[in-house]
Copies of this chain bind each other. A is one copy, B any other.
């Protein structure tokens, strides 16, 4: 559960921070940001959808960030309402304020005595580096950036200002990362792309001579791997947000502000546009394009380029296992069933001629990614 502030604040102060009007009791003391379910009278939360109105009415919460419209449906028992044009965004902003109170930035902790910083490293002001972290030669780290313990930054890495790198992150030589990056623990950036040429003696390694370039305001979750390019760089645009355990192959390009949920794998040389949303567990095949603004439903395989913005999905729906066995066995008959259906139709009366299979077949064929 979110911790409480050491000292409560009047809810009116929070309204001022968010620059929103307040209804009700402006001096209500607040010491916690809470969900509707675990809230009490000293908690503030948010209501962004009519779907959760009942939970809000049932809640013991003291204050809510809420639209003017939904505010009218809240009883007087919710002591204070902060009237917001965008309650979810204002909740996000308020979470940032609470985080600052609850976890004061450990500024000034500086270089730990057991950090290993090689020659020629350039550190900005107020950089902190944890114990057992190794910073190789020629690394540059911008002011205010904080590196956790047990990390390794290879030769020539560039990291911008006000970045946070959690423990056990490994950044290979030559990787460049912009300002305000947030990189979670155990992530690896700049490992070799997967490239081998076949030969009679086995696989010949293709050395990965490119690097990785990452823009500003990028968040990368825990346990991710981002490979360096073979010749050109792997490129991740500014504002991209990446969840945990995402794998990004060599020479992938990801456009600005795209979000990628957990467990996604993106194969080499895929080009993903800006402002895309890639659902959890998605696979993206190599050497294809996804246009700006595409949304890919969770657990789908993107096995062809996506050229129009929109919402795309491909995944087998869950079934009872016995039912699945029957369906899976029958699936293999599908092309045959189509032929048989066609045969039945052509032997049937002429009133099916409108929906004749022949024209339809050519349509579908032309759209067929495997064709």
Q: How far is the CB of A232 from chain B (nearest CB, A)?
A: 5
Q: How far is the CB of A83 from chain B (nearest CB, A)?
A: 17
Residues of A in contact, count (CB < 8 Å): 156
Given the interface pairs A37-B232, A261-B267, A341-B340, the reply to whether A170 lies near B170 with Cβ below 8 Å is: no
Bits for A109-121, please: 1 = Cβ < 8 Å to B, else 0.
0001010100000
> B318–A327 contact, CB under 8 A?
no
Annotate A287-327 by CB proximity to B: 1 below 8 A, 0 otherwise: 00000000111111111101000111111111111111111
* Other-chain residue from B3, B170, B204 in contact with A185 (beta carbon distance below 8 A): B170
Can you add 17 more A-B contacts, CB < 8 Å, to A92-B205, A319-B332, A340-B341?
Answer: A92-B196, A131-B132, A148-B152, A166-B191, A192-B219, A263-B263, A312-B321, A313-B318, A315-B328, A316-B328, A317-B329, A323-B335, A329-B370, A336-B360, A344-B348, A347-B352, A348-B348
B337 touches A316 (CB 8 A): no
Q: How far is the CA of A37 from the CA of B235 in the complex (A)?
A: 15
- Mask, A92-111, CB within 8 Å of B = 1, is 11011011001100000000
B206, B301, B320, B345: which contacts A318 (Cβ < 8 A)?
Answer: B301
- In Å, the complex CA distance between A4 and B241 comes to 32
A249 within 8 A of B: yes
Tell me if A49 counts as interface (CB < 8 A to partner B).
no
Interface mask (A155-174 → B, CB under 8 Å = 1, otherwise 0): 00000000000111010111
Smallest Cβ-Cβ distance to A186: which chain B residue: B188
Given contacts A134-B167, A332-B327, A371-B329, contact A222 B188 (CB under 8 A): yes
Complex: A1 Cα to B208 Cα, angstroms: 10
What B residues does A57 contact at CB under 8 A? none
Point out which of A239, A249, A299 has the most chain B C-beta atoms below 10 A from its C-beta. Answer: A299
Q: List B contacts of A179 (CB < 8 A).
A: none
Q: How far is the CB of A73 from chain B (nearest CB, A)?
A: 22
Q: Does chain B have a CB within 8 A of A29?
A: no
Q: Does A331 contact B (CB under 8 A)?
A: yes
Chain B residues closer than 8 Å to A336, beta-carbon distance: 360
Check B152 against A168 for contact (C-beta < 8 Å).
yes
CB distance from A124 to the nearest CB of B (A): 22
Q: How far is the CB of A290 from chain B (nearest CB, A)?
A: 10
* A156 to B34 alpha-carbon distance, docked (Å): 20
Interface digits, A265-301 against B, CB 8 Å rule (1 contact, 0 not)? 1010000000000001101011000000001111111
